Amino acid sequence: MALNTRQNPENGNLEVQVGEEWVLFEEYRKKQIDDAYLNSIKFLRERLGEDSAKESQKSDASTETESNQ
């Protein structure tokens, strides 16, 4: 997705247009990186949670099988 960019004529800072607002490029970039990091952490935690649940189910099933013998 391409964003409109400009060099602010008042201070020379590089800015990107987000919605109707012009935001400093560095601030926008930092927010994008932070959001991507948090989404990655969330995904990994959810994924590890699924894997842990599967392992727990396997462990419960094997314990149940052993006690039935």
Output the pLDDT for position 38. 95
Query: Can you tell me the distance from the alpha carbon of 40 to that of 26, in angstroms, rounded to the nearest whole number?
Result: 21
pLDDT reported for residue 29:
97
pTM of the predicted protein model: 0.62
Instruction: Please state the φ and ψ torsions of residue 54, each to the nearest 5 degrees.
Output: -65, -45
Number of residues that make up the chain: 69
How many Å apart are CA 29 and CA 3, to the nearest integer? 12
pLDDT tens by residue, 14-59: 999 999 999 999 999 999 999 999 999 999 888 888 777 677 677 7
Which residues have CB under 8 Å from 7's CB, separation 6+? 13, 14, 15
